[in-house]
Amino acid sequence: MTKIIPILPSADLYIDRALKAFEQNNYDKAIRYFRLALSLSQKSSEQVYLMTQLAVVYECQGNFGQAVQLLEQLSQQTFRRSPELWYFLAEAYAKCQNYRASLFYIKQYLHSSNRDYIEEAKELKQQLQQNKGNYFTID
C-alpha cells in the first residue's frame, strides 16, 4: 500500500517550484507558482521579492508592459524600503523603449544607498546617455 504524505502548501514550497520552472524556461508555470506563493506569503519583504520575481518572468516572456505595471504598483508601497525597485523599473522601461522614464529611475537608484545592482545601473545609465540623441532630448 502506498503511504500518502500530506503536503502543507506554503509560500516557500511554491517559491521553490516557481524557481525550478523559471530555470527550465517554463514561464507560465513559474508565474502560476509565484502567484500561489504570493497568495500564501505573510511577510511584506517576501511579497516584494515575489512581485519582483514575477516582473522578471514577465520580462523574460517579452511582456515588458506587464512588468512595468507590476513594478509601478509595487513601487507605490515600497520604494523607501526597497530602492532596488528603481533599478528594475529602469530596466523594464528601457525594454519598453521609454528611455526618459528609464533614465529617471536609474538616477533615482544611483542616488539611493542600495548597491546590489550598482555596476548594472551605471552601465544602463551610460548606454542611455550615450544614445540620448537617438532616443530623446534632455531639457
Structural domain count, the chain: 1
pTM over 0.85: no
Tell whether 3 is covered by a domain: no
Number of CB atoms found within 10 A of residue 122's CB: 13
Is 28 inside any structural domain? yes
Q: What is the CATH number of the domain that holds 124?
A: 1.25.40.10
68 belongs to a structural domain: yes
Percent of the chain with pLDDT over 70: 93
3-class DSSP assignment, residue 62: coil
Span of 4-13, 38-47, 52-61, 93-102 with lowest mean pLDDT: 4-13
The residues near 21 (Cβ < 8 Å, ≥ 6 apart) are 27, 29, 30, 33
Which range marks the domain in which residue 32 is found?
11-135
- 5 belongs to a structural domain: no
Query: Residue 102 domain-assigned?
Result: yes
- Please report whether residue 108 resides in a domain: yes
On whether residue 2 sits in a domain, the answer given is no
Domain membership of residue 6 (yes or no) is no
Over range 48-59, report the average pLDDT: 94
